[in-house]
């Protein structure tokens, strides 16, 4: 568990509870829930700003994917490398990109991670060990394989974690990358975020096997099917896969089932999604599920949960205000950091 910029915790948070069966304490659960609610609140704000004309470019969100982002990101160690997708902005927050950073990124400001050169989730950081996503999502996999291969050659003991939607598992990069990683026993974890739709194509028209992890034995690697709306389950599976990779046993394929609770992006009404699918998805809202778990298991009181939510709303308010006051890039800086001196 890394997270240099995890939300602040009090002494009571840190010392009020022994580790549970997953090795998690009260402070860990606070960070997990904080991250999930921050992703939800941040992205809802992004959508509102987009509709108000206060945001350039496209707006994507990961409603329904928050447990995947928080649980998987929290399973990494500080030296590991993250190659995220557009549904898991929570992993950025866990690795050190602040809400101010990401709001400036979305608004194309000069002090955002890409200094206004690119939009939305297309950003990374050498210091934070985040490699920017590629729009053609399967292309992240060979990059993750390269990171893992370099780690093995250099004996760096790091793990590469990347993601793919179920639609992206049908492209060649998925097979080529996973096969190479399996043959070389590379330290990589690949999570399939199976949200039932590849844009508008339903899963029934995407693949013929019952579960996508059914492909794992063909590569000679483990496949793990999990509930992607359960943050504990996501953390447990990812942590085990990361530990396995770090021990030299090769990659793991994880399929995290969830429901995309909105359209592909802000411009998409999702009218093609059956009403009953969305209704069932909202019944399993990962943010609400995490909140109920924390209260039921007596990690936090309802009042403490509301205090976390209030804190998050304030943080997002601050991020919007900061970004809107931040400078836009100037043409003279367009080639800065593009070419070596």
Q: Give the residue extent of every domain in the chain.
A: 19-323
Q: What is the pLDDT of residue 107?
A: 94
Q: What is the pLDDT of residue 4?
A: 43
Q: What is the pLDDT of residue 261?
A: 92
Residue-level pLDDT, tens digit, the chain, 341 residues: 444 444 555 555 555 678 999 999 999 999 999 999 999 999 999 999 999 999 888 888 999 999 999 999 999 999 999 999 999 999 999 999 999 999 999 999 999 999 988 888 899 999 999 999 998 888 999 999 999 999 999 999 999 999 999 999 999 999 999 999 999 999 999 999 999 999 999 999 999 999 999 999 999 999 999 999 999 999 999 999 999 999 999 999 999 999 999 988 888 899 999 999 999 999 999 999 999 999 999 999 999 999 999 999 999 999 999 999 999 999 998 888 888 77
Q: What is the pLDDT of residue 56?
A: 80
Q: What global pTM score does this model have?
A: 0.94
Q: For the domain 19-323, what is the CATH code?
A: 3.40.50.970
Q: What is the pLDDT of residue 13?
A: 54
Q: What is the pLDDT of residue 12?
A: 58
Q: What is the pLDDT of residue 15?
A: 54
Q: Is 127 exposed, middle or buried (0-12, 13-18, 19+ CB in 10 A)?
A: exposed
């Amino acid at each position: 568990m890394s997270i240099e910029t995890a939300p602040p915790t009090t002494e009571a948070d840190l010392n009020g509870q022994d580790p549970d069966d997953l090795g998690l304490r009260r402070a860990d659960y606070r960070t997990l829930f904080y991250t999930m609610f921050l992703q939800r609140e941040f992205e809802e704000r992004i959508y509102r700003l987009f509709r108000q004309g206060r945001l350039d470019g496209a707006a994507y969100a990961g409603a329904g994917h928050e447990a995947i982002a928080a649980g998987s990101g929290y399973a990494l160690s500080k030296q590991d490398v993250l190659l995220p997708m557009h549904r898991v902005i929570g992993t950025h927050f866990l690795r050190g990109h602040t809400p101010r950073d990401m709001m400036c990124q979305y608004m194309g400001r000069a002090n955002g991670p890409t200094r206004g050169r690119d939009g939305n989730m297309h950003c990374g950081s050498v210091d934070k060990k985040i490699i920017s996503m590629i729009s053609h999502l399967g292309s992240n996999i060979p990059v993750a394989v390269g990171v893992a291969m370099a780690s093995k050659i250099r004996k760096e003991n790091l793990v590469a974690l990347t993601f793919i939607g179920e639609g992206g598992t049908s492209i060649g990069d998925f097979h080529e990358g996973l096969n190479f990683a399996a043959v070389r026993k590379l330290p990589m974890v690949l999570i399939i975020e199976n949200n039932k739709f590849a844009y508008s194509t339903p899963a029934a028209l995407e693949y013929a096997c019952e579960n996508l992890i059914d492909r794992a034995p063909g590569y000679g690697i483990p496949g793990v099917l999990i509930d992607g709306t359960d943050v504990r389950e996501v953390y447990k599976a990812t942590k085990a896969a990361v530990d396995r990779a770090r021990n030299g046993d090769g990659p793991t394929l994880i399929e995290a089932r969830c429901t995309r609770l909105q359209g592909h992006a802000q411009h998409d009404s999702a009218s093609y999604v059956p009403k009953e699918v969305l209704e069932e998805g909202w019944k399993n809202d990962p943010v609400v599920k995490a909140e109920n778990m924390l209260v039921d298991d007596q990690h936090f009181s309802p009042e403490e949960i509301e205090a976390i939510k209030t804190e998050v709303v304030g943080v997002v308010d601050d991020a919007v205000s900061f970004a809107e006051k931040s400078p836009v890039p100037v043409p003279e800086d367009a080639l800065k950091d593009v070419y070596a001196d």
